[in-house]
Every structure is written in structure tokens, then in C-alpha cells.
Homo-oligomer: A and B are copies of this chain.
Amino acid sequence: MDEVDLTDRAEVQGDFETGLNADDQLELRVWLRLLTCANLIERNVRQNLRETFDTTLPRFDLMAQLDRAPDGLTMGALSRRMMVTNGNVTGLIDRLVTEGLVERRPAPGDRRAQVVRLTRAGKRAFDGMTPAHADWINEMFKGLGRQDMTALLRLLAKLKQSLAEREGQEK
């Protein structure tokens, strides 16, 4: 039997980089590896949030933003911070309001805007999740030393800067 083996045994647990050549452009390799790491972390957090607290990552991210802004945020500020569209935030907030975790009220002085903030229950729920969340993240970064992390933080800052510059240009 010399048929092609479609199960591709070399790829037991592939990712975006699988099949990429070492002589491909460095930039692409960095980007794909970055994406792989982000996906692995996201997947882990998502699963933990579901199993431990029966909630979702977008809900958690949104609540984390509100937790850091005790005076509340407008819908627009929220969507900028979460880097998602306005419409997306509208839907998420709708659901969180229904669940009683978030409250929406008209912004003083601007009848177009809404200010959103955590309710008492929302704050309580979020505080209950924070420690476990921190543990998960810490656990995932266990393989990196303090030096590694500061180096990584610095390089990512530089990349972020490089990315932010070309955001303004747009068109």
C-alpha cells in the first residue's frame, strides 16, 4: 500500500503555522504565531469561563471594561475600548441588561448618548470571576520568566505603536 496518507500524521495538532515554510517572510511568520498564541489563550479562557461561571468571553471582556470605569462609559467609548463595532456592543449590552448585570441610563447633557455601568449584581459577579481569571492567565504564562514577559511586553508595545500609526492614515 503506497497511497497518499491523508491523515497527515505530522500534523497531529496543527495550527496556522502548519505548512508554512521557514523561508517565508519573517513578518508573516510573526503574525501567524501571534495569532496562534492569541487563539490558544482565548480558547482556554472561553472554556474556563463557560465551565466555571457559565458565561462567555465577550460578556466577561465587556464587564472588565466597565469595572475599570466606575463612572460608566458611553456605548461609543465601550466599543472603542473593546475594538468592536457599535452594533456589537448594543447587542451585548442588551443581553447583560436583561440579565441584570449592567444598567443603561441617558448621558447627562447629551441626549444621543447612553452611559452604561455595572449594577451592584454585575460588580459582584465580576469580582467573583476575577481571581480565577487571573489564575488561568498566570498558569498559561508559566513557561515564561519575568525577563521574557517584560521583553515581550516591550516588543508588543513597539508593534502596537507601529500598528497605531497606520490607523490614523486610513484613506
Contacts and interface: CB of A to CB of B under 8 A. Distances in A.
Interface residues of A, number: 79
Given A6-B71, A6-B72, A137-B25, A33 B160 contact: yes
A26 B156 contact: no
B81 A152 contact: no
B161 A143 contact: yes
| A interface secondary structure, majority | helix
- The copy count of this chain in the complex is 2
Contact of A68 (B3, B19, B61, B159): B19
A88 to B, nearest CB: 13
A129 interface: no
B80 A14 contact: yes
Contacts of A44: 163, 166
A92 interface: no
Contacts of A143: 158-159, 161-163, 165
Interface in A48-70: 61, 65, 68-69
